[in-house]
Amino acid sequence: MLGHAEKVMGTVVSFTVDCGSVPDDSVRRAVARACRLLHRMDDIFSTWQPASPMSRLRRGELNLDDVPPEIPQVLEQCAEARALSNGWFDPWAMPGGVDPTGLVKGWAVEAAMKMVREAGVPAALVNGGGDLVGFRPPSSVPWRIGIRHPWDASALACVVELEDAIATSGSYERGAHLLDPRTGQLTTAAASATVTGPSLALADALATALAVGGDDVLALLAALPGYDGYLIRSDGTEESTERMAFTS
Amino acid sequence: MKRYPVVIGATVAGLAGILSYHTSNLTSPLSSNLAVGPGSGSTTTTTKPGTTSTTGGTTSTTGGSSTSTTSTSAPPAVTTSSATGTGEQYGYGILSVKVTVKASKILDVKVAKLQTADTYSQSLAQQVIPYLSRQVLKAQSSRISGISGATYTSEAYAMSVQSALSQLHFR
């Protein structure tokens, strides 16, 4: 088992890799490539860096033909997530211009995972500041992921078995930071919102949508093949879609 | 069936890497008895790994002399050592931890330094940190591979733990 933690995108992305029969050196090189990718994505998408292509696009200094191809790719996925979430995830409703932040971390972490996978390793888990994506051989036991309890820092809300990806959005540590695209106001409707599914990019965006839209989005998730949701409302009540893979 | 790392990457992004070292030898006892496969639906029937019965053990009672020789190698003589991790900047301040290890086991994680911008951040950190410490210690026997919903404090914590461990040549 090989581990690496990289500070990037304003968070830490950690890799846990089962090297199998692949030499450690090859795995390390793959992880290093994945980290370079993450930094490149950070440079492109950062809305904190005024000179990033994303920032320049937001200010109207660049148009979509002039930016790195990853930006239109991500925006396309943002549009998909907006449609799937019935507008509860809406990067175009953010102040200061289109802001794909709610999807791009998951997207980048997923791309990093794929780079590690290309090294031929049997299993790996990539944790991008609490949004995780993993893979493993078909017959192996799933990764088990705890979901942080929104109020009791000494407890987990629950444990789920990870099929592909999991993202959790909440207002517990950073305070209210989610904007309701319909009202333009900060929202604290959900204490914690978790989405699992095949794509971390989409899970990331949908977790944001679930945190803002609550039960409406949970109903959407129930009808979305491959995706599941788990909501802890601000009054402490909980609800999840039927197939959410809770375990003990 | 192979069981995958029982590393608690913890909230603690980063710890996954750090702790994978020990966990690899701790995972094996749990390996055979987790009956849950992918796509097994919502109400999962799990056999609790903690209560694993030794189904894997072969009971060969034939004349063959195939006794499983599980030689418990004597642990090397070791001393306890500590290191203080780098002070990690995070959203609300600076956090640094001191880690104490013996052999390949983390004995203790303490906060060496905590500077926060305001009292709210201070109380928040003080609330979160004991949990993180327990996670680090538990990780050595935990069954969880990571925590979804990580936060700034925990990331800084993880990085400081990692730097302390690397000072101790703990990998």
Distance CA A134, CA A225 (A): 19
Distance CA B68, CA A247 (A): 33
- How many independent structural domains does chain A possess? 1
Side-by-side strand order, sheet with A165-170? A2-8, A11-18, A123-128, A131-135, A165-170, A190-197, A228-233, A238-240
Instruction: Characterize the bridge pairing of strands A143-148 and B146-148.
Output: parallel
Residue B150: predicted pLDDT: 57
Distance CA A92, CA A101 (A): 11
The beta strands (E) that lie in B22-150 are given as 80-84, 88-90, 93-102, 105-116, 146-148
Cβ-based contacts under 8 A for chains A and B: 181
Asked whether residue A172 carries a pLDDT value surpassing 80, the answer given is no
Q: How far is CA A137 from the centre of its chain?
A: 22
The 3-state DSSP class for residue A158 equals: strand
Asked whether residue B24 carries a pLDDT value surpassing 50, the answer given is no
Average pLDDT over residues A134-149: 88
| Digit-coded pLDDT (tens) for A77-102 | 999 999 999 999 999 998 888 999 99
Asked whether residue A107 carries a pLDDT value surpassing 60, the answer given is yes
Residue A204: predicted pLDDT: 96
Asked whether residue A148 carries a pLDDT value surpassing 70, the answer given is yes
CATH number for the domain harbouring residue A74 = 3.10.520.10
| Digit-coded pLDDT (tens) for B147-159 | 677 555 666 676 6
Which of A11, A139, A141 should be substituted to probe chain B, the one whose Cβ sees the most B Cβ atoms within 10 Å? A141
- Give kind and range of the element (H or E) at residue A219: helix A215-222
> Is the predicted ipTM greater than 0.95, yes or no?
no
Asked whether residue B91 carries a pLDDT value surpassing 70, the answer given is no
Tokens of B171: 């990998």
Average pLDDT over residues A126-145: 90
For residue A146, which of B105, B9, B167, B81 has the smallest C-alpha distance? B9
Structure-model confidence comparison of residues B8 and B74, the more confident one: B74
Asked whether residue B65 carries a pLDDT value surpassing 60, the answer given is no
Distance CA A121, CA A136 (A): 9
Structure-model confidence comparison of residues A173 and B28, the more confident one: A173
- Name the minimum distance, in Å, from the CA of B61 to any CA of chain A: 30
| Residue A229: closest C-alpha in chain B | B42
Tokens of A201: 């990019």
Average pLDDT over residues B138-152: 59
Residue B89: predicted pLDDT: 73
Domain that holds residue A227: 2-247
Contact A16 B42 (CB under 8 A): no
Residue B154: predicted pLDDT: 64
- Give kind and range of the element (H or E) at residue B47: none
Q: Centre a 10 Å sphere on the Cβ of residue A16 and count the other Cβ atoms it contains.
A: 31
Percent above pLDDT 90 for chain A: 69
Residue A239: predicted pLDDT: 94
- Name the minimum distance, in Å, from the CA of A109 to any CA of chain B: 13
Distance CA A171, CA A190 (A): 8
